[in-house]
Amino acid sequence: MDKFTTLTGVAAPMPLVNIDTDMIIPKQFLKTIARTGLGKNLFDEMRYDQNGNEIKDFVLNQPAYRHAEILVAGDNFGCGSSREHAPWALLDFGVRCVISTSFADIFYNNCFKNGILPITLPKQAVDALMDDARKGANARITVDLEAQTVTSSDGHAYSFEVDAFKKHCLLNGLDDIGLTLEKAKDIDTYESKMATLHPWI
């Protein structure tokens, strides 16, 4: 998993509330267990018409936001079913951070396990960042995980809270497998001991 330290990038405004995981990645794309390749189908039913043509009005189809790394979204982002494909699709598109007033719990935790930073801020702060994001590609937002701040293009900083353990994992690029591998020496020692004590196993 890639580390998340500081990110400065274009933020796409998505003021819709209750953006659920089926909107993020529709159910027909859940057949794969690969974490790559889902970015092209991110928000599929909002990005494309029935013929597969881009819907020009959708924010991520607009030139300014085609390479957005941050989403500023409405309340209750990531609600619905608990599919881990949702953060996979966001990450594969290039999104490393989502800012909202609230998140569904399972989606929120899945983000940390996949290298995405979900940030919860008060509505006033989210509204201000949403307005900033509407300025387009020239308005770049900076997210500093170590300092726990989001800074708008005009220099206004907003502080956010994050669980210390989740912060540690993101800063060091540690998913569940990475956390286990940190204990590899202890695991090897235990396995050697068990092989000596119980060679028949």
Kindly report the backbone phi and psi dihedral angles of residue 19, in degrees, each rounded to the nearest multiple of 5, phi listed first: -70, 110
Q: In the chain, where are the structural domains located?
A: 6-174
Band of residue 164 on the pLDDT scale cut at 50, 70, 90? very high
The residue that leads in pLDDT, 72 or 188, is 72
> Is the pLDDT score of 184 beyond 80?
no
Distance of alpha carbon 19 from the chain centroid:
14
Distant-in-sequence, close-in-space partners of 93: CB < 8 Å, separation ≥ 6: 39, 42, 60
* Residue 72 β-bridge partners: 13, 99
Average pLDDT of the chain to the nearest whole number: 92
Average the pLDDT over 117-146 and give the result: 96
Pairing of strands 6-14, 70-73: parallel
> Is the pLDDT score of 103 beyond 70?
yes
Q: What is the 3-state secondary structure (H, E, C) of 11-43?
A: EEEECCCCCEHHHHCCHHHCCCCCCCCCHHHCC
CATH architecture label of 6-174 = Alpha-Beta Barrel (3.20)
> Is the pLDDT score of 198 beyond 80?
no
> Is the pLDDT score of 200 beyond 80?
no
Residue-wise pLDDT tens digits, 112-127: 999 999 999 999 999 9
**Structure tokens that stand for 136 in this block:** 């387009």
Burial of 174 (C-beta count, 10 Å sphere; 0-12/13-18/19+): buried
CA atoms of 140 and 89, how far apart (whole Å): 22
